[in-house]
A = this chain, B = another copy of it.
């Protein structure tokens, strides 16, 4: 049995044995098995068993050991509250104080103000102070995801003394692979990687081997920008500073991955018109709750479309075939609008769009709209002509498709860009609104043209 099977099919993570040990209150057998597996697998097990077994685990594990489990991303933010309530309050406070500060803050943010206060009171003073300093940063900013557990040294220290500092701080620092160099008043002046340190002469001064062009982010920066910067520069951690360049904390690459994942989920949810897919729903009601708001909004918007079509009842009664093409035209407009929207939203997210002028982008989208519109129109005209031999209707549908695609493509890219400029998340505009807008426009064009030329039909 290779080590690989461990994570592959859970063979080596012996769940049965651990559950049995818990049921039989066999602390030795449990700890022997449990502490050998990876913290991530420990978290998977912890989350999977029921509350009764978890309560036994709190007696079998130290707060520090449990903290390690809470550090993993396996446990969702929404579960923290429930789990903490299962524990003794002092035990929970101890556990939180052993976590890395950024994660401890994530846990506390899920609780009520009074609960936060009571945990902070029970906690080790130093840990409480560090947590308090981070609690007030606004959500989705660099400050809200940074940790203060980094290693810093003064410029005039030697490589040898820096290594000593590193060794001492290794157990508590979140990363020791970057050492940040600060001036007397705590301003960030450079960075040295552990890679550079171990190959440098032990007597060399840090100031002489450090990299002065250090990439940093501002504490109020948006977390997605921070994540993109870390990704672009291939960093394992990025320092966070205030506007005067004072060092405040660092953000490590594991948190960056989680941010990118969260933002991708978020954009994806919005395109699909689901409230929030960040946490996976365990029952029908919570799943329905996330979908109904959008469906209702879309129904109301759809009513507008219905109302609009209703105004053309007379035309439709005369040529009922016209009705057959309404979903086709509205659908095509919706699809091309969604395409343009998705390209713009994604371009904003990956910062590709920042690199060029908005005007050029819109011009390009207009061109794209004309090309796709023309090709689709010609295609549909031929299709209808061959299928129905209705030349006038074919032309009518073709014209409506051409104009609809053109308008949909431009609005699909203009609206998210405009929202981004207004500092609104462009993904909110998303499919639904664009689709309804394009439904309305395309139906007016189609049935308007049909009403005008009704005599030729």
CB 8 Å contact bits of A1-29 with B (1 = contact, 0 = none): 01110110000100000000000000000
**Residues of B with C-beta under 8 A to A177:** 177, 194-195, 236
Stretch at the interface among A80-88, A109-117, A127-135, A367-375: A367-375
What are 19 sample pairs from A and B whose C-beta atoms fall under 8 A apart? A6-B215, A73-B232, A198-B198, A264-B264, A268-B342, A272-B338, A284-B371, A285-B371, A292-B375, A292-B376, A295-B376, A296-B375, A298-B335, A302-B332, A307-B324, A316-B323, A317-B317, A317-B320, A330-B331
Given the interface pairs A4-B241, A229-B7, A383-B299, the reply to whether A274 lies near B342 with Cβ below 8 Å is yes
Given the interface pairs A163-B198, A257-B231, A280-B347, the reply to whether A294 lies near B335 with Cβ below 8 Å is yes
The answer, yes or no, to whether A220 is at the interface (CB within 8 Å) is no
**Residues of B with C-beta under 8 A to A309:** 323-324, 327
Since A260-B261, A272-B339, A316-B320 are in contact, a sample of 13 more A-B pairs with Cβ atoms closer than 8 Å, ordered by chain A residue number, is A4-B217, A265-B346, A268-B342, A268-B346, A269-B342, A273-B338, A284-B365, A284-B371, A288-B368, A302-B331, A305-B331, A309-B324, A327-B327
Chain B: which residue is nearest A13 at the CB level?
B213
Given the interface pairs A292-B372, A309-B327, the reply to whether A195 lies near B215 with Cβ below 8 Å is no
Minimal beta-carbon separation of A440 from chain B (angstroms): 10
Per the bound structure, the CA–CA distance linking A306 and B387 in Å amounts to 11
Q: Are B295 and A198 in contact (CB under 8 A)?
A: no
Find A213's partner among B37, B241, B320 (CB 8 Å cutoff): B37
- Tell me if A's interface is mostly helix, strand, loop or mixed: helix
- In this complex, the member of A253, A298, A328 whose beta carbon has the largest number of chain B beta carbons within 10 angstroms is A328
Q: Are A234 and B273 in contact (CB under 8 A)?
A: no
**Residues of B with C-beta under 8 A to A62:** none
- Please report which residues of chain A, range 379-426, place their CB below 8 angstroms from some CB of chain B when the two chains form the complex: 379-380, 383, 387, 405
Q: Are B170 and A299 in contact (CB under 8 A)?
A: no
Per the bound structure, the CA–CA distance linking A224 and B53 in Å amounts to 33
The answer, yes or no, to whether A439 is at the interface (CB within 8 Å) is yes
**Residues of B with C-beta under 8 A to A37:** 213
Minimal beta-carbon separation of A187 from chain B (angstroms): 9
The answer, yes or no, to whether A271 is at the interface (CB within 8 Å) is yes
Q: Are A299 and B233 in contact (CB under 8 A)?
A: no
Q: Are A268 and B267 in contact (CB under 8 A)?
A: yes
**Residues of B with C-beta under 8 A to A379:** 296, 299
Per the bound structure, the CA–CA distance linking A383 and B305 in Å amounts to 14
**Residues of B with C-beta under 8 A to A257:** 231, 253, 256-257, 260
Per the bound structure, the CA–CA distance linking A364 and B58 in Å amounts to 32
Q: Are A271 and B273 in contact (CB under 8 A)?
A: no
Find A306's partner among B294, B295, B328, B335 (CB 8 Å cutoff): B328
- In this complex, the member of A36, A38, A372 whose beta carbon has the largest number of chain B beta carbons within 10 angstroms is A372
Q: Are A195 and B214 in contact (CB under 8 A)?
A: no
